[in-house]
Structure 1
Amino acid sequence: MTARLERYGAVTVLPVMAAPAEYGAHLRARIQPLMTGIGPVEAAVALTAALARLEARGERPDLIVSLGSCGSRTLDHAAVYQVDSVSYRDMDASALGFPKGVTPLSDLPAILPLPCPVPGVATATLSTGANVVSGAAYEVIDADMVDMETWALVRAAQTFDVPLVALRGVSDGRAELRALEDWTSTLHHVDENLAAVWDRLGAVLEAQGLRALDRRAPDRLDPAHPAAPELIA
């Protein structure tokens, strides 16, 4: 499938997803995303290659929007959240004296902030890594949600000086994962809710353009009392 740039007012948008399982009927009716494959390596390689091709054709997008599922032990399942910051849980050079999450000998912080342009859609923090987090593994995660691509996508986007918005729907996390179906069983709800937030994002971009990205996260989400404005179950 060839990715299609979407246009909202003066803003061109490249939608990006990881897996066909997350790309349900509601999103299919709206977008034709770049499909990267699962995990940080596949995500970085695919997005970097796509942006290089687009730039060579003079079609570099104004904005990248990453859509997909995530895990969370505390947030409402099927609800969609804007990612207000992302960390990279695989990076650990603490044996060399670097704080966990900090890439050695770089000027990158351990946590990268992201824009949250859609009013009324709750925000949450995200941890990216190559492992599927389940059960007790959540105890060492210092973020509201987990995924396997967003940090890598942000770094690829930064290389081309393109901003990125990340939208994540919670597919799993409350119970131990034991089979593929434990991830996929809620994806049809996540698809519907992601599509609803996509429509709202498009309306914001139509009205405000890239100025909408100046809007940062409002009051931080309290995981003990999570807001879930986009929940269709």
Structure 2
Amino acid sequence: MLLHKRQEVLLIIALKEELPRNLLPEFNIEYCGVGKINATYKALEIISKYEPKLIINFGTAGSLRKNLFGLHEVSHFFQRDMDARALGFKIGVTPFEERSVIDFGRTGLSCSSGDNFVSSPPELKTDLVDMEAYAIAKVCVLKNIQFMCFKYVSDNADESASKNWKANASLGATAFKDMIKNLDLQTMLGLREKEQHEN
């Protein structure tokens, strides 16, 4: 059963090319632009405006594993360009914060986000790389909002990444459309509300 367009479920997408609004008119789709700052700003803006219960991020990602193709759920998020090793912190760890990885406890892939388009293997090893997911995930954790993330592999984060991304950026939209229409979002939201009430 489809959800009608409503505020409790919002989709954040970086670019219109990745998911045009007319492909899923029954959902509220917001575009954040590229990069962590843009993603953070948009997430905070729509949380303040709509007070959603669930935010879903969809977009393209580069794969650091050669056998990964298609659409995947992401459940572990890292910030690959946080580098305070000169202060004694491991790469990806924000100084003086307890949490270095955002983990939503579901089975899914790992993804590192950074303000750089990856065309060679980064030092922080994950399954996927993108430029926004960590930022949105962290905002959702801090605001106590349920978060889901799905990434379509557009390239292998190598020397051909730029060319492959341009060719494949729009291909994941149909796969995501088919997947999200089969998600039982109503049940998910109900379970979330029950857990919060019990706690």
Q: TM-score, normalized by length of structure 2? A: 0.83
**Corresponding residue number in structure 1 for 2:62:** 71
Q: 2:73, 2:88 → 1: CA distance?
A: 33
Give the deviation of 1:211 after TM superposition: 2.9
Alpha-carbon distance in structure 2 between the residues aligned to 1:209 and 1:28: 20
CA contact (8 A) 2:9 2:28 kept: no
Q: Provide Cα deviations, 1:171-228, integer angstroms capped at 9, x if missing partner.
A: 111652375x521322332111111121122xx2234535379xxxxxxxxxxxxxxx
Shift of 1:51: 1.2
Match of 1:198 among 159, 164, 180: 180
Q: Aligned partners of 2:168 and 2:161: how far apart in 1?
A: 15
* Conserved 8 A contact 1:26-1:192: no
Pairing of 1:59-98 with structure 2 (within 5 A) = 60-74=51-65, 75-77=67-69, 79-98=70-89
2:104 corresponds to which of 108, 114, 139: 114
1: CA distance, partners of 2:169 / 2:138: 26
For 1:188, give the aligned amino acid.
S
Structure 2 SS opposite 1:188: coil
Answering whether residue 152 of structure 2 is matched by residue 172 of structure 1, we say no
Aligned to 2:189: 209
Q: Indicate whether 1:189 and 2:171 are aligned.
A: yes
The AA in structure 1 aligned to 2:37 is V
Correspondence for 2:43: 47
1:12 paired residue number:
8
CA RMSD of aligned residues (A): 2.7
SS of residue paired to 2:121: helix
Q: Secondary structure at the match of 1:92?
A: coil
Look up the match of 1:154: 137
SS in 1 for 2:46: helix
Change over 3 Å in CA distance of 1:174–1:153 after alignment to 2: closer
Q: Is the 8 A contact 1:6 1:14 kept in 2?
A: no
Name the SS of the counterpart of 2:59 in structure 1: strand
Give CA-to-partner distance per residue, 1:134-182, whole Å, 9 cap, x none.
1xx2253410100000111112222321121111111111652375x52
Instruction: Tell me: CA distance 1:129–1:64, structure 2 relative to 1, closer, same or farther (3 Å).
Output: same
CA contact (8 A) 2:118 2:158 kept: no
How many residues are aligned here?
190
TM-score where L is the length of structure 1: 0.72
Structure 1 residues 153 and 25: alpha-carbon distance in aligned structure 2, compared to 1, 3 A threshold: closer
Cα separation, 2, equivalents of 1:194 and 1:162: 21
3-state SS in 2 of match to 1:184: helix
